[in-house]
A and B are shown apart, each in its own frame.
Chain A
């Protein structure tokens, strides 16, 4: 592992997190608006929307760092016809632009509501296309540890898990800001926040369950696929076994244990402070776990041939 691969770890994690966060924003906004009206829903979610852009931009900056010749970076979309790497950059830029336009319109309330929703849905679809092409980049016949169904599935789970927990933390931070500005808003917002976090905590636990099922299946698929895959898995369970153990323990602790704490503390009013700390902790712990997982993805790569 060198600087180049760390930059890809950061880029893929932050890119997926921003797509996941955007999708979670869309779902939460939709249901919250139906339940308590558009105005309360926007107070819950608008500010957190603004946190997504910088995360995506940071990831894109990290991705540029792995290039040997940055001056040519603009050429990276020249081969949309056959290169998934071109498509990844293409959808990444489109997601950033359309998502950014939506963020600005939503924040400043520019344009009619229906137009904003159409743009948001387009941005969400572009985000999904970004994660799909991110995964397809790694489906190379010469890389048996990457070239399985598990790569897109793991990328998808990471996208949603980080999205759910990042938005949980963002809503909590947003609530703290709201309270300071205008304490009178607190009650309606507090109820909405608690019910939102309960749903996010449940989603996190479900996604944790999926991840814990997929990882062993992925390991057996790669190990039985080819001799090179088996070498990858021996590295994963051998010299990198401690990191894998740490990753599994942390994702269980963050999304599972802390997720349950968030849920129980969100049941009744008055425990918002504990709930908030738990939501931040769950996000931070799972972020570390997912970074470790992505590190292992690159570190255990074994090419076939020479």
Chain B
């Protein structure tokens, strides 16, 4: 079977966080247990000209990011209990009944996808809404996006349609884990590793 993947259109995203909230709502997540996050990225600055603030290479855009169900899932590689596995359709899932809550996957994942369930003491992460998929429905984040900026499907189809960009700032270099992700970059997007901006969000909101 082919690899399931997410598509994200950074030119359409308004950073409204509807996807993040829909994900939390559908999956009954705690406030800090964000399986999908919207992360604004900002750079450049402003200058004063004749008493007015004028943008000086100022830019800002956002990425909406969940688990990328990577081709090389480093979380599954390092997990000591084999609680994390990759299905035939490429979806990476955590079996909570095997998890010991050591949080090693959290250190290993460059996307911050595995999140602890503080109450149960085990790791959780984006399941690609596999229960909805099984009923022929879309993942909650996809349907929640008012800008239609998130889509999903077989990786090859998305790549044929939208290209092969999968690493813009503030996302990490894609060679680490080969994420199943396709991005339409924002016009100001900087490729991963060449960033001059910074993540523009409170640390506690990450």
Given A68-B100, A72-B99, A73-B100, do A83 and B78 touch, yes or no (CB 8 Å)? yes
Asked if B39 is at the interface of the complex by the 8 Å CB criterion, the answer is yes
Q: Which residues of A contact B82 (CB under 8 A)?
A: 75, 78-79
B contact residues, range: 35 or more
Docked-complex contact B102 and A142, CB < 8 angstroms: no
Give the total of A residues in contact with B, Cβ under 8 Å: 29
Other-chain contact of A142, B74, B80, B170 (Cβ < 8 Å): B74
Other-chain contact of A68, B37, B121, B176 (Cβ < 8 Å): B121
Q: Which of A13-21, A36-44, A298-306 contacts B (4 or more CB under 8 A)?
A: A298-306
Docked-complex contact A72 and B100, CB < 8 angstroms: yes
Asked if A143 is at the interface of the complex by the 8 Å CB criterion, the answer is yes
A-B contact pairs, 26 of them (CB 8 A): A66-B102, A67-B101, A67-B102, A68-B101, A68-B103, A69-B99, A72-B81, A72-B98, A75-B81, A75-B83, A79-B81, A86-B81, A89-B80, A137-B104, A140-B74, A141-B74, A142-B108, A303-B110, A303-B112, A305-B170, A305-B171, A306-B39, A306-B112, A306-B171, A306-B172, A306-B206
Asked if A271 is at the interface of the complex by the 8 Å CB criterion, the answer is no
Docked-complex contact B172 and A305, CB < 8 angstroms: yes
Docked-complex contact A304 and B172, CB < 8 angstroms: yes
- Of all chain B residues, the one with the shortest Cβ separation from A84 is B78
Asked if B182 is at the interface of the complex by the 8 Å CB criterion, the answer is no
Asked if A76 is at the interface of the complex by the 8 Å CB criterion, the answer is yes
Taken together as a complex, chains A and B put the C-alpha atoms of A235 and B126 apart, in Å, by 32
In angstroms, how far is the closest chain A Cβ from the Cβ of B117? 8
Taken together as a complex, chains A and B put the C-alpha atoms of A301 and B104 apart, in Å, by 13
Interface residue ranges of B86-103 to A (CB < 8 Å): 97-103
Interface residue ranges of A283-306 to B (CB < 8 Å): 301, 303-306
Docked-complex contact B121 and A305, CB < 8 angstroms: no
Asked if B111 is at the interface of the complex by the 8 Å CB criterion, the answer is yes
Docked-complex contact B121 and A67, CB < 8 angstroms: yes
Q: Which residues of A contact B103 (CB under 8 A)?
A: 4, 66, 68
Interface residue ranges of A81-127 to B (CB < 8 Å): 82-86, 89
Other-chain contact of A141, B112, B120, B123, B176 (Cβ < 8 Å): B176
Other-chain contact of B108, A67, A79, A89, A140 (Cβ < 8 Å): A140
In angstroms, how far is the closest chain B Cβ from the Cβ of A278? 40
Q: Which residues of B contact A301 (CB under 8 A)?
A: 107
- Of all chain B residues, the one with the shortest Cβ separation from A80 is B80
